[in-house]
Amino acid sequence: MRRIVLGALAIIMIVIVILPEPAIAEAGTYYKVVADSLNVREQPDPEANVVGSVKAGDLVVVSDERFGWMKVRASDVSGWVAGYYLRKTNGTAAVAGKSDKVQIASAEKQATVLADAVRFREGPGTGYNVIGSVNKGDGVTVLGSEGGWVRARIDNGTIGWISAQYVGGAQGGASSRSLRGKVIVIDPGHGGDDPGMIGTKLETLEKELTLSTSTLLADRLRAMGAKVILTRTKDVKPKLSERVSISESAGADAFVSVHYNSAKGNTSGTLTFYYSKNKDESLARAIEGRLAKGIGLKSNGISFGDLYVLRENDTPAALVELGFLSNEKDEKLVRTDSYQRDAADAIAAGLADYFE
């Protein structure tokens, strides 16, 4: 009997060993890398150790998402990357990171070229061949976008790529031209021993959301030509006076403080605060105008706020509350990378509107 049992166990062990590993495509969703080189880190933290990198065009499988970071698996590395640099794709691959079968989602809209002799290229980057040029005032049909480039069709039917900074209307009507050279301070609220609001259902920490959203916003603004300064880039808590001092010392053109809200009851949506009607209100109104166009939550408009970072700031300043962590629906939504990216894009577009 003992010999039979041992033999059965041996067979089971062999079966376990030779069973094929499930295809990684079943573990998550494919995304395409849109940064030239993207660090992969051990943890969802900009200070975490780098364990490898992926490059533009690589396909990765995403298995988890946390506060603007995505857990990915490529052919030879796995870990966490900033979600802003990934785009969901219908591409397929036997091994993630080794296929170029990627479709760019169609999103046709009309746009206008903002400069003369803008090069029209075969792909989204300066390394691709030039196939023509377009001039200021020319109309193009935008078919998609990727990593700061716009895929467009011109009047003669040719399809190619143009740097997004030279295309007005490609980002929902906001021109990146108005942000070139502007100094913008982004203030991720709370931090360190101050968690801010804590979600009532999922115990989401406001300080983590504000940092991840602000990082996405900073990346978006830099892609539009702005110089961006963050009042914090990790889990620390600058004093309110230090946040204001950073803005004033930099000679900033605008200051935006990013927060998430809480209230009694089931209040939902975004809210944008200003302090001075002369200095701040137009900035708050421009940002709210973009948030109101739709990021997944309704806009509650703009409101006067006697808040230190607004009141004591000589720079035009606004404070945005991007959802209520006391509302279960809001809390679940604002944790997602897609919501935070949409919010960042809306704020960036509002800033562009303000400077125009």
Per-residue confidence (pLDDT) for residue 218, from 0 to 100: 93
For residue 284, give every residue at least 6 positions away whose Cβ sits within 8 Å of its Cβ, in sequence order, or none: 272, 273, 274, 302, 318
In which residue are the tokens 């190619």 written? 160
Per-residue confidence (pLDDT) for residue 99, from 0 to 100: 35
Per-residue confidence (pLDDT) for residue 5, from 0 to 100: 45
Per-residue confidence (pLDDT) for residue 36, from 0 to 100: 73
In 22-170, which ranges are continuous DSSP H helix? Answer: none
Give CA–CA dist 318/276, Å, rounded.
Answer: 10
Contact between 142 and 189 (Cβ < 8 Å): no
Name the nearest CA neighbour of 287 among 316, 248, 262.
Answer: 316
In angstroms, the Cα distances linking 121 to 73, 163, 264, 328 are: 31, 9, 53, 46
Q: Confirm whether pTM is higher than 0.75.
A: no
Tens-digit pLDDT string for the chain (356 aa)? 444 444 544 444 434 333 333 333 333 567 888 777 788 888 887 778 888 888 888 888 888 777 678 888 887 788 888 877 887 765 443 333 333 333 333 345 677 777 777 888 888 777 778 888 888 778 888 877 765 677 888 877 788 888 776 776 544 445 556 788 899 999 999 999 999 999 999 999 999 999 999 999 998 898 788 999 999 999 999 999 999 999 999 999 999 999 999 998 899 999 999 999 999 999 999 999 999 988 899 999 999 999 999 999 999 999 999 999 999 999 999 999 889 988 998 999 899 999 98
Per-residue confidence (pLDDT) for residue 199, from 0 to 100: 94
Per-residue confidence (pLDDT) for residue 277, from 0 to 100: 95
Q: Which two tokens stand for residue 228?
A: 């961006």
Name the nearest CA neighbour of 267 among 305, 315, 322, 323.
Answer: 323
In which residue are the tokens 């969802």 written? 44
In the chain, which ranges are continuous DSSP H helix? Answer: 2-18, 206-223, 240-249, 281-291, 308-311, 328-334, 337-355
Give the dihedral of Cα atoms 90, 66, 205, 341; nearest 10 deg: -40
Per-residue confidence (pLDDT) for residue 180, from 0 to 100: 86
